[in-house]
Amino acid sequence: MKAFIKRAFDLILSTLGLIVLSPIFLVLSVIIVLDSPGGVFFRGERVGKGGKTFRIFKFRSMKKDCEGKGAFNVSDHDDRITRVGHFLRKSKLDEMAQLINVFLGDMSFVGPRPELRYYVDMYTEREMPILDSKPGITDWASIVNSQQYIGFTKAGANSDEYYLTCVRPLKLKLQLYYRYNNNFFSDIYCILFTVIKVVSKTAKLPKDIQRIVDEHMEGAGEYAYDLG
């Protein structure tokens, strides 16, 4: 029943979202195509529920076929980013295309952000249950890490190392928290909090999430994540 309710919610909301936002999608598509060759969408492979591979939809913010040809974790100075791509990435508009993945059933509105196979292969036995949940457009980890590109930019050529040592450990803790504490109402709360975060840029977090962040920071030492 829980899975049915979640899927029904995702299907209804993604359908409405695609209809309402279609004019914005059309404008973005025209701008992206005029800005650089390579098509409208980025369709990189990601790992979904149960370890199944799927292709994610993102409005293309980088040059054609450049994923894996450089750092996985992209800084703001990366020359693979297109002119309009900088705006798309900072505004998170590139992520809006994932409404298509939600409609198709590859993703949910709320769930662990879909990861590259390269990083999933690093999961420990304790971390594997993250794959029990369908990946989402947003989750608590993506809210906490909403400014991670700043860290990637500061790290420069070491952005992948920065992700592994500073960003990923906290991300995994928050995704495991979601795995064992999610329900329909907590998903609604996460969606609302995501909207508030995007609109107000607030640094405030729910108490349980802030506790996980604080505990991680206390034990991380030199590898503590700079939340900006």
**Prediction pTM value:** 0.91
Residues in the chain: 228
Q: What six digits make up the tokens of 151?
A: 């860290």
Between CA 191 and CA 86 the distance in angstroms is 24
Rounded to 5 degrees, φ, ψ at 207 are -55, -45
Q: Using an 8 Å Cβ cutoff, are 121 and 85 in contact?
A: no
Scored b (16 or more CB within 10 A) or e, 173-200 reads: bbbbbbbeebeeeebeebbebbeebeee
- 145-194 pLDDT, tens per residue? 877 877 888 888 788 999 999 999 999 999 999 999 999 999 999 999 99
Tell whether 9 is covered by a domain: yes
Tell whether 141 is covered by a domain: yes
pLDDT for residue 223:
59
Range of the domain at 102: 2-223
Tell whether 51 is covered by a domain: yes
Tell whether 228 is covered by a domain: no
pLDDT for residue 226:
60
Tell whether 152 is covered by a domain: yes
Number of domains forming the structure of the chain: 1
What are the residues whose beta carbons fall under 8 Å from the beta carbon of 117, sequence distance 6 or more? 45, 47, 53
Scored b (16 or more CB within 10 A) or e, 54-64 reads: bebbbbbbbbe
Tell me the pLDDT of the chain (228 aa) as tens digits.
Answer: 888 999 999 999 999 999 999 999 999 999 999 999 999 999 999 999 999 999 999 999 999 888 778 888 888 888 899 999 999 998 889 999 999 999 999 999 999 999 999 999 999 999 999 999 999 999 999 999 877 877 888 888 788 999 999 999 999 999 999 999 999 999 999 999 999 888 887 778 999 999 999 999 887 665 566 654
Tell whether 150 is covered by a domain: yes
